[in-house]
């Protein structure tokens, strides 16, 4: 590090400014000498700087390494509890974000720094940071209910995705044939991939509105799910229909999921049944995330065989 400072004076100045600011904010204090004091365990937290030229704000990123092993083969992170995973599923946060007419996006600055106790690079940093935010939400929930709700439900790491109602298919043939990554493709597969590549630019024309058009408690919500299957894959998609008392209804794509068929050959009707099962799970997930447990649910499939199986007695089903 000292050698790099001599070779790059600008880097040295940026590093010095970072340390001074870190100390000024109260995130660290100068330690007293520990020589001869063997009563308390001591750990030296190594760090290094990374220059990110593409950054428009802070080009120098100082990285703390809590996993650096000492002379005895142990690191600081070896002695720290990581805590439970408090992060929600990212798709949950994104789906809830789409329910707001007006979107709000925020970033929590210096989230993983806590005064003289923990910093990023430590195994417990993320847990403690999120736990602190949740405690803040609980403490201020009465006086700031909207902010507390956002901290509890609309945050992923240090990003907040919330809002308010007002202004105040990759191809599967290669996998099925079990080809290695460097195996030359057959001419038919080559043509297929080239056609796929030529159509990729059309994705720029696909637009999915973020807002789900829910505005008031008087709106009635219907959930419509569609399931379908082919010899290569099966899929399910969920739509939300919002019926408004004084306006025409709106329909929005909420979520979709696809799965490739197993290598073992399966009949098409059975794949249609798999698609229906996938749809039920996807719909239940959507209801839970959007909290529309009382919404009317409609399932749609064009497979008569799958419908007869579903309506038949379970004793007739083969597993």
pLDDT of 109-125, one tens digit each? Answer: 777 776 667 787 888 88
Pair (164, 226) in one structural domain: no
- What distance in Å separates the CA atoms of residue 86 and residue 132, rounded to the nearest whole number? 11
- 58: in domain: yes
Task: Look at residue 215 and tell me if it is in a domain.
Answer: no
Single pTM value for the model: 0.60
Position 300 in a domain: yes
At residue 51 the predicted structure's pLDDT band, cuts being 50, 70 and 90, is: confident
Decide if 301 is inside a domain.
yes
In 3-state terms the chain splits into helix, strand, coil percentages (rounded to 5) of 35, 20, 40
What is the residue-averaged pLDDT of the chain? Answer: 82
Residues 6+ apart with CB under 8 A from 131: 83, 86
At 55, list the tokens. Answer: 């950054």
Domain boundaries, position 105:
90-172
Q: What are phi and psi of 264, to 5 degrees?
A: -70, 130
Burial readout 90-114 (b: 16 or more C-beta within 10 A, e: otherwise): eebbebbbbbbeeeeeeeeeebbbe
Residue 149: predicted pLDDT: 85
Most confident among 75-79, 196-200, 272-276 (mean pLDDT):
272-276
Are both 121 and 54 inside the same structural domain?
no
Query: 229: which strand partners?
Result: 234
User: In a 10 Å sphere around its CB, with 0-12 CB exposed, 13-18 middle and 19+ buried, how is residue 220 labelled?
Assistant: middle
Higher pLDDT, 40 or 132: 132
| The total number of structural domains that make up the chain | 3
Instruction: Please give the average per-residue pLDDT across 243-267, as a whole number.
Output: 88
Q: Which residues pair with 221 in a beta bridge?
A: 242
Give me the pLDDT at residue 173, please. 46
Within a domain: 205: no
Nearest to 8 by CA among 47, 51, 58: 51
């Amino acid at each position: 590090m000292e050698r790099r400072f001599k070779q790059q004076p600008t880097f040295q100045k940026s590093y010095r400014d970072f340390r001074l600011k870190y100390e000024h904010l109260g995130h660290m204090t100068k330690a007293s000498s520990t020589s001869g004091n063997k009563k308390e365990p001591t750990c030296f937290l190594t760090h290094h700087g990374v220059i990110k030229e593409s950054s428009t704000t802070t080009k120098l990123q100082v990285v703390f390494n809590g996993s650096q092993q000492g002379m005895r083969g142990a690191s600081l992170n070896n002695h720290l509890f990581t805590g439970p995973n408090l992060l929600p599923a990212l798709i949950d946060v994104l789906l809830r974000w789409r329910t707001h007419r007006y979107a709000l996006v925020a970033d929590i600055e210096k989230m993983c720094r806590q005064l003289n106790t923990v910093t990023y690079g430590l195994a417990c940093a993320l847990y403690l940071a999120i736990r602190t935010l949740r405690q803040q939400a609980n403490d201020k929930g009465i006086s700031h209910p909207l902010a507390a709700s956002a901290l509890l439900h609309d945050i992923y790491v240090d990003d907040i995705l919330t809002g308010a109602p007002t202004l105040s298919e990759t191809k599967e043939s290669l996998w099925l044939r079990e080809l290695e990554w460097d195996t030359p493709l057959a001419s038919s597969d080559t043509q297929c991939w080239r056609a796929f590549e030529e159509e990729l630019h059309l994705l720029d024309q696909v637009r999915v509105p973020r807002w789900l058009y829910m505005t008031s408690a008087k709106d009635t919500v219907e959930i419509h799910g569609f399931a379908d299957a082919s010899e290569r894959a099966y899929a399910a998609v969920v739509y939300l229909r919002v019926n408004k008392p004084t306006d025409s209804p709106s329909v929005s794509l909420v979520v979709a999921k696809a799965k490739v068929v197993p290598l073992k050959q399966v009949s098409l009707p059975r794949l249609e049944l798999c698609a229906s099962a996938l749809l039920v799970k996807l719909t239940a997930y959507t209801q839970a995330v959007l909290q529309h447990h009382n919404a009317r649910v409609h399932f749609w499939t064009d497979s008569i065989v799958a419908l007869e199986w579903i309506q038949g007695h379970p004793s007739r089903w083969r597993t």
